[in-house]
Amino acid sequence: MAEGLYQSPVVACPSLAELTRLSEEMRLQCTDEDLQAVREEFQEVAAALQRLSQLKQPSLPVKYPRTPGWKPDQNNPYNAWYWRCDIKGADTGKLAGKTFAIKDNIAVAGVPMMNGSKILEGYTPEFDATAVTRILDAGATIAGKANCEHLCGSASSFTCDAGPVRNPLDETRSTGGSSSGCGALVASGEVDMALGGDQGGSIRMPSSWCGIVGLKPTFGLVPYTGAMPMETTLDHLGPMTKTVADCALLLEVIAGYDDGRDPRQRPNTVVPEYSKLIDAGISGKKIGVLKEGFDVCAEPDVVEIVRREVDRLKEAGAEVEEVSLPIHLDGTIIRTPAMMYGEYKFMIQGNGTGMFWKGFYPLSLREATCRGLQTRPQDLSGDVKMMCLTAEYLDRHYQNKFYAMGQNMTMVLTKAYDQVLEQYDVLVMPTMSCKASKLPLAKARLSDILKAAQRVEKNVAPFNSTGHPALSINAGFSEGLPVGMQIVGRHFDETTVLQVARSYEKIRDMK
């Protein structure tokens, strides 16, 4: 700015009355002299913030041309698309010729992003998420953004403000959430692959109920950079595909360190060529059948199908044994504070980006979330309102006590799984405790909606807390509805998880 021109301050200096009120609210017992000193010192703080606002902020690269795309009209199968586009990546690459849907909590520059919520309606990011850039670099074409649940807050598929997403196998039923549109689009063949997100099963639940392959990778293997987070200790991005081969191929494209932009990641993480390793077979591998993973099931046919199909892995030369781990039954309980209190602090009070972590902060997303939450909080979905009220009550009366307890117990839970995985190469269990549920009526009560949207996460949510890789693959059908089998492995051992899934896929498809 030219010298002498007026420059409006970034931060207004507080009055003595404002500082007095703050001191009283915070019970600091500051004197008038103390407050005057604070006010004078604030001038230095304001000057620093003024200078900070003038520095050029970093952004994420946008490497491929695109138009804004278009909002789908009546030609929107299963109400799975939020926005359509046609963004072509590199001319060649591992994903050349593949079409993609991107979950609508993941930024694609120049394409509107709503994250299932009116709170973000009208927001268009100016950056590509790192995983999106990697997909385009590998030659794929992005066909659009897939509807997801309201701020990714539901395990079912009827909380999106663009309307419920219907299951391609039975349009009266849920796809599962929160990557609901991704599940429907891959299952119906509208796209070859999708990039989903998972904080409590949100890749694996739709994959199970739609009969496709969905992988929540090891925590931090795939950079979360450029996606709207819920809570940094739970956030994952991962593949949703028709086949295990496509899952492996997509994983090797999107995995790997992101130059310090994402604090969830470890430097120097090695990314194998998974697609070249998946057909190595599983002869001699030890597979633990997790007893408690079957005990939580609400429908006997789910138990019967998955047990039958697990036994078929013996045909591929694996050793299959039942194993018991009682703490698994407490897995969702241990995750609850991070999911509820952490999500409230991070996503709602933290305006969509949170704070106190090193990495890339998408400022435009933060501003859009802040504006939406300030102007239309009444438009939050019923289950997100429930989360806000519960978390605020717990904050006022118990501070972060239960969050701390939950994170402490996460270490215990992680160690318990690790100890079992020292004896077994993978653990298997049903992905979901039941088959796809009916979509509720439009005038359903909030209590019924909350019951339908939650309480199906008992086998998937624990592995968001512990960070173990977990894959869902279709194990068969009952009453025309898919039943998923979940395969869980050691940290950063996606290779073995994929090998077991691929071996099972071969046996299954030989029927």
- Predicted confidence (pLDDT) per residue in 377-425, tens digit: 999 999 899 999 999 999 999 988 999 999 999 999 999 999 999 999 9
* Per-residue pLDDT reduced to its tens digit, 64-77: 999 999 999 888 99
Q: Residue 502's pLDDT is what?
A: 98
Q: Where are the domains of the chain?
A: 16-54, 77-509
User: What is the torsion angle, in degrees rounded to the nearest 10, for the CA atoms of residue 343, residue 344, residue 350 and residue 356?
Assistant: -60
Residue 28 phi/psi, 5-degree rounding, is: -90, -20
Q: Residue 166's pLDDT is what?
A: 98
Q: Residue 236's pLDDT is what?
A: 98
**Which residues in the chain come in under a pLDDT of 70?**
1-9, 449, 451-455
The residues near 37 (Cβ < 8 Å, ≥ 6 apart) are none
Helix axes 446-453, 382-398, angle to 10 degrees: 90
**Residue 439: what residue type?**
L
Q: Residue 508's pLDDT is what?
A: 96
Cβ atoms 257, 492 nearer than 8 A? no
Cβ atoms 426, 488 nearer than 8 A? yes
Q: Residue 2's pLDDT is what?
A: 42
Alpha helices in 144-221 (DSSP H): 180-188, 204-210
Per residue, what are the HEC states of 202-237?
CCHHHHHHHCCEEEECCCCCCCCCCECCCCCCCCCE
Cβ atoms 256, 269 nearer than 8 A? yes
Q: Residue 7's pLDDT is what?
A: 52
The residues annotated with a catalytic role in the active site are: 103, 178, 202
Residues 406, 340: Cα–Cα separation, whole Å: 11
Q: Residue 9's pLDDT is what?
A: 60
* Per-residue pLDDT reduced to its tens digit, 425-460: 999 999 999 999 999 877 777 777 676 655 689 999
Q: What fold, for 77-509?
A: Amidase signature (AS) enzymes (3.90.1300)
Q: Residue 11's pLDDT is what?
A: 86
Helix axes 130-137, 244-254, angle to 10 degrees: 110
Q: Residue 469's pLDDT is what?
A: 99
